[in-house]
Structure 1
Amino acid sequence: MMGLKIIKTSRYVPPKIVTNDEFAKIMDTSDEWIRSRTGIETRRFAEDEDTSDLALKAVEKFRDEDLSNVDVVLVATFTPDLITPSIASMIQKELNIKNESIAFDFNMACSGFVAGLKVMDSLLDTGKRGILVGAETISKVLDMEDRTTSILFGDGAGAALVEKNEEKSFFDIGSSGDFESLHALGRVNNPDRDVALRMEGKAVFRFATNIMVESVFKVLEKANLEYEDIDYYVFHQANKRIIEHVRKKLGLDENKFYMNLQNYGNTSAASIPIALDEMNEKGYFRENMKIVLSGFGGGLSWASTVITW
Structure 2
Amino acid sequence: MKARIRAVESYLPAKILTNEDLAAEFPEWTVEKISAKTGISRRHIASDDEFSSHLAIGAGRALFDAHNISPESIKYLIVCTQSPDFYMPTTACLVQDGLGIPITAGATDITLGCSGYVYALGLAKGLIESGQVENVLVITADTYSKFINPLDKSVRTIFGDGAAATLVEATEGPEALVGFTYGSNGAGGKNLIVPHGGLRSGEDIAPKASMATRGLTESGYDLFMDGPEIFSFTIDIVPASVDEILAKAGVGFDDIDLFVFHQANAFMLEHLRKKLGIPKEKFFVALEESGNTVSSTIPIALTEAVRRGELAPGMRVMMLGFGVGLSWGGLVATW
Say which SS state the counterpart of residue 158 (structure 1) adopts.
strand
Say which SS state the counterpart of residue 75 (structure 2) adopts.
strand
What aligned pairs does 1:274-285 form with structure 2 within 5 A after superposition?
Answer: 274-285=300-311
The aligned residue for residue 250 of structure 1 is: 276
> Whole-Å Cα distance in 1 between the matches of residues 46 and 100 of structure 2?
26
Are the aligned partners of 2:185 and 2:327 in contact in 1 as well (CA < 8 Å)? Answer: yes
Shift, 1:153, TM fit: 0.3
> Whole-Å Cα distance in 2 between the matches of residues 16 and 235 of structure 1?
26
Shift, 1:231, TM fit: 0.8
Residues 192/6 of structure 1: CA separation in 2 closer, same or farther (3 Å cut) = closer
> Whole-Å Cα distance in 1 between the matches of residues 225 and 157 of structure 2?
12
> Whole-Å Cα distance in 2 between the matches of residues 216 and 25 of structure 1?
40
1:131 to 137, 155, 158: 137
> Whole-Å Cα distance in 2 between the matches of residues 290 and 192 of structure 1?
40
The aligned residue for residue 238 of structure 1 is: 264
Mapped pair 1:121 → 2:125: yes
What aligned pairs does 1:181-220 form with structure 2 within 5 A after superposition?
Answer: 181-186=190-195, 187-190=197-200, 195-220=221-246
Q: Which amino acid aligns with 1:44?
A: H
- Structure 1: give runs of 5+ residues left out of the alignment: none
Please list every run of at least 4 consecutive aligned residues from structure 1 whose deviation after the TM superposition is greater than 3 angstroms.
66-69, 191-194
Are the aligned partners of 1:67 and 1:129 in contact in 2 as well (CA < 8 Å)? Answer: no
String of CA shifts for 1:155-211, please: whole Å, max 9, x gaps: 111110111346273211111011011111124223585621100001101111221
CA RMSD of aligned residues (A): 1.9
Shift, 1:53, TM fit: 0.8
Q: Which amino acid aligns with 1:183?
A: L
Say which SS state the counterpart of residue 148 (structure 1) adopts.
helix
> Whole-Å Cα distance in 2 between the matches of residues 17 and 150 of structure 1?
12
Are the aligned partners of 2:159 and 2:292 in contact in 1 as well (CA < 8 Å)? Answer: yes
Q: Which amino acid aligns with 2:127?
A: L
> Whole-Å Cα distance in 2 between the matches of residues 192 and 108 of structure 1?
17
1:156 to 134, 159, 162: 162
1:173 to 166, 179, 182: 182
> Whole-Å Cα distance in 1 between the matches of residues 76 and 319 of structure 2?
21
> Whole-Å Cα distance in 2 between the matches of residues 281 and 247 of structure 1?
22
What aligned pairs does 1:78-93 form with structure 2 within 5 A after superposition?
Answer: 78-93=82-97
Are the aligned partners of 1:21 and 1:31 in contact in 2 as well (CA < 8 Å)? Answer: yes
> Whole-Å Cα distance in 1 between the matches of residues 154 and 2 of structure 2?
40
Q: Which amino acid aligns with 2:32?
A: E
Deviation larger for 194-203 or 123-132: 123-132
The aligned residue for residue 111 of structure 1 is: 115
Say which SS state the counterpart of residue 84 (structure 2) adopts.
coil
Q: Which amino acid aligns with 2:167?
A: L
Mapped pair 1:57 → 2:61: no
Are the aligned partners of 1:291 and 1:308 in contact in 2 as well (CA < 8 Å)? Answer: yes
Q: Which amino acid aligns with 2:104?
A: E
Shift, 1:131, TM fit: 0.4
Shift, 1:66, TM fit: 4.5
The aligned residue for residue 42 of structure 1 is: 42
> Alignment identity in percent?
36
Deviation larger for 223-232 or 181-190: 181-190
The aligned residue for residue 32 of structure 1 is: 32
Residues 211/21 of structure 1: CA separation in 2 closer, same or farther (3 Å cut) = same
- Taking structure 2 as the reference length, what is the TM-score of the superposition? 0.87
